[in-house]
């Protein structure tokens, strides 16, 4: 296989429902390759925009028959699965799966295997590594010994929304302005942006046939975990963090501490925190000889964090009632990312049937604000507007440009119209002073064959730091009054207008 050959390759991607696999597939397609995905639950892939451009097979890497079928007519097989988080025997599961994958790749005549593993220290015997790192090293060794040319990319912390290591960093930094931390905050780490990882994974497909080895990959920065938290806070616009290391916190205790502070599951957080006691820094850069770095790469830690934060809020908020958001870059969230990925996004969702056609309901929705008010507890809205002006915000004084019609970019009291789908969706972004970002969405949906409709409403809040968390939980008890009343009254107003229209028509 000539690495300068541009002939499309047939690629098998395992772990396409996972963090890296789901982001690798569109990159391979963009490079002109044909892609087959092996997934235990193919239905998880259906919301991806590329789902119709790939072949999907159901199977499991621990089942030799399904792996054998998936390997048929494959040039490059990507091994992007691991059993981390599945239980205490994840090392045995990973070992068996890697052996099956390697054996079936050789039997099928696959020309290359590519595996994303983990950076490990060179001065620590393998049996003294954390179970997570030990298993990653063992899987890499098994695949290198399988008889098929194999490229093992070894990475430390991958920076991107959805990466478990990055999510731990995000939640710890955002939720704790003052932290009592384990001693591993002084461990040196060489993080790498997810976009750079994907670039190298795609490039490995065309490595020369005589290349079969492991490569260390990392970004340009070598930082302690403490430095990563400090720099994350700065990029995210958070106040400086106070970090107080406490040597007595063991890996086991610190994993419980991480579990209390973050929503990352303990089955994942524990092995990751145990691994943080090891320094993970690149000891060679041979991958550059085969896959030269393009201008501007690899990205710095700050650049990678900025990309991870850039669209996470918008991509998560853009999720419709009926379909998942479609991100546009490797750093953006995916429909298959776990619920705890992407930072906190709190929602207050309400739906109610409306005895009026969709067109009538939409007129009420498009008419909210200004002189028409917000259909709920006027005193509460007035008080919120007054408080906003007290702290330098715009309050309710702006009103609206037109009493009946809205367009994207219009100001609407202390909201801004962010998106309109005429007859269906109005999304408003809050411009009041808040410790975070907030949106209000209002939908008009058809409901049944009787000419009725359904009103759907979502208030969303993406908190900024600990103050944002406190703000949400302070005001959430009042949502039933404010947002519940709003949903009911908008439905009643639409029904009343529909009745008046019927009476008027009968009078004519």
Last residue of a domain, one of 284, 311, 338: 311
> Is 170 inside any structural domain?
yes
DSSP 395-448: TTTT-BS-SS---TT-EETTEEEEEEETTTEEEEEE-S--SEEEEEEEEEEEET
Going by pLDDT thresholds of 50, 70 and 90, the confidence category of residue 317 is: very low
Measured over the CA atoms of residue 107, residue 108, residue 112 and residue 113, the dihedral's sign is negative
Identify whether 388 is part of a domain. yes
* Helices assigned H by DSSP within 236-357: 251-261, 266-275, 287-290, 301-310, 312-317
Give the chain's domain count. 2
For residue 493, the domain's CATH number is 3.30.530.20
Do 226 and 301 belong to one domain? yes
Interaxial angle between packed helices 465-475 and 164-175, expressed in degrees from 0 to 180 and rounded to the nearest 10: 80
Segment 138-157 mean pLDDT: 96
User: Is pLDDT larger for residue 279 or for residue 270?
Assistant: 279
pLDDT at 96 > cutoff 90 = yes
In this structure, the answer to whether residues 69 and 204 fall within a common structural domain is yes
Least reliable range by pLDDT among 74-88, 115-129, 188-202: 74-88
The domain in which residue 132 lies consists of 10-311
Specify whether 111 is located in the same domain as 238: yes
What is the token pair recorded at 347? 């929602």
Q: How many CB atoms lie within 10 A of CB 366?
A: 20
The per-residue pLDDT for 29 is 96
Distance of CA 213 to the CA centre of its chain: 31
How confident is the model over 314-340, as a mean pLDDT?
A: 49
Question: How sure is the predictor about 494, in pLDDT bands with cuts at 50, 70 and 90?
Answer: very high
Q: Among 311, 327, 358, where does a domain finish? A: 311
**Closest residue by Cα to residue 472 from 481, 484, 459, 463:** 463
Q: What mean pLDDT is predicted for residues 268-277?
A: 74
- Is 70 exceeded by the pLDDT of residue 252? no
Residue with the larger pLDDT of the pair 34 and 184: 34
Q: Please report whether residue 320 resides in a domain.
A: no
| Domain end among 289, 311, 333 | 311
Is the pLDDT higher at 257 or at 99? 99
pLDDT at 131 over 80: yes
Instruction: Give the integer Cα–Cα distance in Å for 239 and 131.
Output: 36
Q: Are residues 285 and 410 in the same domain?
A: no
Dihedral, CA of residue 309, residue 39, residue 76 and residue 63, to nearest 10: 140
What per-residue confidence (pLDDT) applies to 462? 82
Using DSSP bridges, classify how beta strands 178-181 and 242-245 pair: parallel, antiparallel or unpaired: parallel
Mean pLDDT of the chain: 85
* Residue 428, pLDDT score: 92
Residue 337 located in a structural domain: no
In this structure, is residue 219 part of a structural domain? yes
The confidence band for 315, taking pLDDT boundaries of 50, 70 and 90, is very low
Closest among 115, 20, 117, 104 to 62, alpha carbons compared: 104
- Which range (109-123, 232-246, 277-291) has the least confidence? 232-246
Residues 66 and 151 in one domain: yes
Q: Confirm whether 110 is domain-assigned.
A: yes
Is the pLDDT at 300 greater than 70? The verdict is: yes
Q: Average pLDDT of 143-157?
A: 96
Residues 303 and 388 in one domain: no
pTM comes to 0.74
Confirm whether 333 is domain-assigned: no
Which span out of 234-243, 373-382, 463-472 was modeled with the highest average pLDDT? 234-243
The domain that contains 289 carries what CATH number?
Answer: 3.40.50.720
Is 495 domain-assigned? yes
Residue 457, Cβ neighbours under 10 Å: how many? 20
Same domain, 268 and 361: no
């Amino acid at each position: 296989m000539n690495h300068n050959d541009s002939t499309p390759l047939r690629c098998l991607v395992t772990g396409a429902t996972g963090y890296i696999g789901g982001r690798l597939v569109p990159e391979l397609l963009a490079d002109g390759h044909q892609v087959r995905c092996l997934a235990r639950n193919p239905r998880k892939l259906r919301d991806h925009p590329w789902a119709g451009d790939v072949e999907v097979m159901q199977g499991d890497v621990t089942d030799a028959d399904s792996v054998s079928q998936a390997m048929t007519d494959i040039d490059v097989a990507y091994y992007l699965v691991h059993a981390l988080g599945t239980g205490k025997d994840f090392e045995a599961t990973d070992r068996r799966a890697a052996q099956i994958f390697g054996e079936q790749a050789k039997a099928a005549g696959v020309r290359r295997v590519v595996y994303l593993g983990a950076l490990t220290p060179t001065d620590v015997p393998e049996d003294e590594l954390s179970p997570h790192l030990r298993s990653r090293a063992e899987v890499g060794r098994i695949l290198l010994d399988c008889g098929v040319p194999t490229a093992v990319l070894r990475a430390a912390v991958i920076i991107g929304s959805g990466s478990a290591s990055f999510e731990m960093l995000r939640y710890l930094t955002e939720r704790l302005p003052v932290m009592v931390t384990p001693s591993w905050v002084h461990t040196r780490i060489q993080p790498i942006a997810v976009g750079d990882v994907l670039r190298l994974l795609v490039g490995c497909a065309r490595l020369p046939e005589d290349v079969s080895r492991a490569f260390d990959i990392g970004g340009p920065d070598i930082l302690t975990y403490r430095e990563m938290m400090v720099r994350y806070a700065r990029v995210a616009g958070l106040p400086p963090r106070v970090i107080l290391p406490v040597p007595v916190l063991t890996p086991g205790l610190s994993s419980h501490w991480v579990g209390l502070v973050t929503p990352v599951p303990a089955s994942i957080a524990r092995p990751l925190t145990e691994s943080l006691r090891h320094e993970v820094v690149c000891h060679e850069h041979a991958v550059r000889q085969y896959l030269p770095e393009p201008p501007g790469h690899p990205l710095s830690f700050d650049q990678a964090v900025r990309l991870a934060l850039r669209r996470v809020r918008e991509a998560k908020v853009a999720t419709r009632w009926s379909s998942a958001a479609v991100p546009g870059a490797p750093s953006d969230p995916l429909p298959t990312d776990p619920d705890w990925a992407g930072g906190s996004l709190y929602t207050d969702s309400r739906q109610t049937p409306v005895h009026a056609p969709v067109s009538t309901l939409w007129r009420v929705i498009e008419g909210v604000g200004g002189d028409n008010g917000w259909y709920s507890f006027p005193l509460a809205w007035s008080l919120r507007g007054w408080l906003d002006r007290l702290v330098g915000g715009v309050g309710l004084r702006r009103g609206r440009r037109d009493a009946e019609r809205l367009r994207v970019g219009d100001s609407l009291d202390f909201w801004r119209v962010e998106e309109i789908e005429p007859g269906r969706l109005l999304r408003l972004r809050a411009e009041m002073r808040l410790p975070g970002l907030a949106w209000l969405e209002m939908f008009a949906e058809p409901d049944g064959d009787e000419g009725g409709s359904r009103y759907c409403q979502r208030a969303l809040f993406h908190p900024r730091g600990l103050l944002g968390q406190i703000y949400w939980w302070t005001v959430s008890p009042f949502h039933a009054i404010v947002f519940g009343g709003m949903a009911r009254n908008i439905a009643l107003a639409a029904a009343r207008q529909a009745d008046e229209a019927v009476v008027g028509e009968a009078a004519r």
